[in-house]
Structure 1
């Protein structure tokens, strides 16, 4: 009878231990999920904040500079009618309005959301192709759709690169390439323009800052090669994250979700 009672108590302890272990596992899973949710939220907030900064860069580079130039032309002719300066100021103001419309349209390009990054880049180039520079877009990819943030990042980098080519490079030819290589996406933008010294402008150029900040969203570097008179080459090695790929699986593979180093 005593032996039977001991066996019963042993079974009870074993059952209790099993329940405790199950509860510990369940709590551990809940804690892991909460941590993943926290990191993912920080990742999204980081991306949102960088987007706000990048919009500020675009407004500064295009709209604010144009308005400032127009104000200077008008202020230089007080109390007199200087038709040439007025015409110049009006031309600049009209350009600033067009730039504002471009920025607003670019905040949510419909092709990017509906069809994907390849079609969105092609559509952007069809609309913005300058007369003075031929821009060729080539791609060798197998993906259908990417993680929305990755599609947006690639699109914005190309958009800013095209703007830089049009504003500053004086290039006659430029080429954009997007290549899928295993689990990586290689974006390359190069032109035959006048080039520049990256060491002198990297800290102050809003366009380059914007590109660098977007690359940081995925913990990668925007590598820029240029020198005066030798054109410019931009290369970014992105991780390939498909639209249907689970974020948690990607974060486990990479060690950190993009943009969350040190979290």
Structure 2
């Protein structure tokens, strides 16, 4: 692989060799007179060392500017759109740096708009979901009447007749008692299923940190996982971003329980000045991230949720080495949002 610094150094070295060769040819032709024939060797070595030092210094200065540009490009690729190239007196790099800053500002504006549209879509979906919840509650009320209510009525009727049945026919009374047990078990299962459907969203009336403090350890305990949690949130995220992040975490944890066979899960969520980084890691069986994974609907959903807010999802996994899901969501200052409104 070529490197600008060493390529430039080689040019300086080649220049030194040509200069030394010309000096030697001049000595041989008599155009350059050297009293001691051995002195030309010192001259040649001196020229080569001088060109190497100058070439290295020049190459290092240019390479530093290129490395800075490369580092900022990597930051942008990770979702940090707040990076900017500094001013430089070098006119060659000043033009490149200026174009880079202009390009990132344009990308930042588009990403900000994309995030606003994504948040708007999330809020609209939430409003539609609220209407759906009302309809679902009506359906559950009908289900309660048609299932659990009727089961309880049947249990009540059987229990009312049981004492007299035991008095007249003990054997038949025992059969009624078994039916009572079966009906009560059925009613209990139906009631549990309906209660599960009626459970409210964990984020209602809570911040993301408060919801995770309650939900994450409970979920780990219920599924036999050892969970480690590291939250560093400033509390400045919009409701839509918190909602999407919570759904991504739920999706990631469900994938771990279903597919990974993991025993340890690590959740990290950090809010910086310009981006939010979520990381969920497990010590499960992993998979080859270079190959399409069957049943990867959850991974696709997480990517779509991140991209909807202008972010990106990174899946890191290897067979036998666990899996890490890393989400980068850009953050924009309130003042900057107001510029586009």
- TM-score w.r.t. the length of structure 1 is 0.53
Instruction: Supply the distance in 1 between the matched residues of 2:335 and 2:232 (Cα, whole angstroms).
Output: 24
Instruction: Supply the distance in 2 between the matched residues of 1:250 and 1:156 (Cα, whole angstroms).
Output: 30
**Structure 1 pair 151/214, CA: closer, same or farther in 2 (3 Å)?**
same
Question: What does residue 171 of structure 2 align with?
Answer: none
**Contact (CA 8 Å) 1:146, 1:241: kept in 2 or not?**
no
User: Which whole-Å deviations, capped at 9, do the CAs of 1:160-217 have from their partners, x for residues lacking one?
Assistant: 1111111111111110001122221111110100112333227x52211211111011
Question: What does residue 45 of structure 1 align with?
Answer: 121
Question: What does residue 169 of structure 1 align with?
Answer: 260
Match of 1:231 among 310, 322, 325: 322
Question: What does residue 225 of structure 2 align with?
Answer: 133
2:235 is paired with a residue whose SS is: coil
Instruction: Supply the distance in 1 between the matched residues of 2:314 and 2:126 (Cα, whole angstroms).
Output: 19
* Structure 2 gap ranges (5+): 1-111, 129-184
1:123 is paired with a residue whose SS is: helix
2:199 is paired with a residue whose SS is: helix
1:218: Cα distance to partner? Answer: 1.2
**Contact (CA 8 Å) 1:157, 1:214: kept in 2 or not?**
yes
Question: What does residue 35 of structure 2 align with?
Answer: none
Could you say which structure has the larger radius of gyration?
2
* Structure 1 gap ranges (5+): 1-35, 53-89, 253-263
Instruction: Supply the distance in 2 between the matched residues of 1:240 and 1:186 (Cα, whole angstroms).
Output: 10
2:292 is paired with a residue whose SS is: helix
**Contact (CA 8 Å) 2:270, 2:278: kept in 1 or not?**
yes
Instruction: Supply the distance in 2 between the matched residues of 1:103 and 1:194 (Cα, whole angstroms).
Output: 32
Which protein is richer in helix relative to its size? 2
Question: What does residue 338 of structure 2 align with?
Answer: 249
Instruction: Supply the distance in 1 between the matched residues of 2:309 and 2:303 (Cα, whole angstroms).
Output: 11
Greater relative contact order (Cα 8 A, min sep 6): structure 1 or 2?
A: 1
**Structure 1 pair 139/237, CA: closer, same or farther in 2 (3 Å)?**
same
1:241: Cα distance to partner? Answer: 5.3
**Contact (CA 8 Å) 1:174, 1:192: kept in 2 or not?**
yes
Within 5 Å, give how 1:3-18 maps onto structure 2: none
* Structure 1 vs Structure 2 CA RMSD: 4.0
User: Which whole-Å deviations, capped at 9, do the CAs of 1:122-158 have from their partners, x for residues lacking one?
Assistant: 21123322453211111123x1242000010111111
**Structure 1 pair 123/103, CA: closer, same or farther in 2 (3 Å)?**
farther
Question: What does residue 242 of structure 2 align with?
Answer: 151
Match of 1:105 among 192, 196, 199: 199
1:233: Cα distance to partner? Answer: 0.4
**Contact (CA 8 Å) 1:134, 1:174: kept in 2 or not?**
yes
1:230: Cα distance to partner? Answer: 0.9
Pairs aligned (count) = 172
2:311 is paired with a residue whose SS is: coil
Could you list the runs of 4 or more consecutive aligned residues of structure 1 that deviate by over 6 angstroms after TM superposition? 49-52
**Contact (CA 8 Å) 2:313, 2:326: kept in 1 or not?**
yes
**Structure 1 pair 172/210, CA: closer, same or farther in 2 (3 Å)?**
same
Question: What does residue 189 of structure 1 align with?
Answer: 280
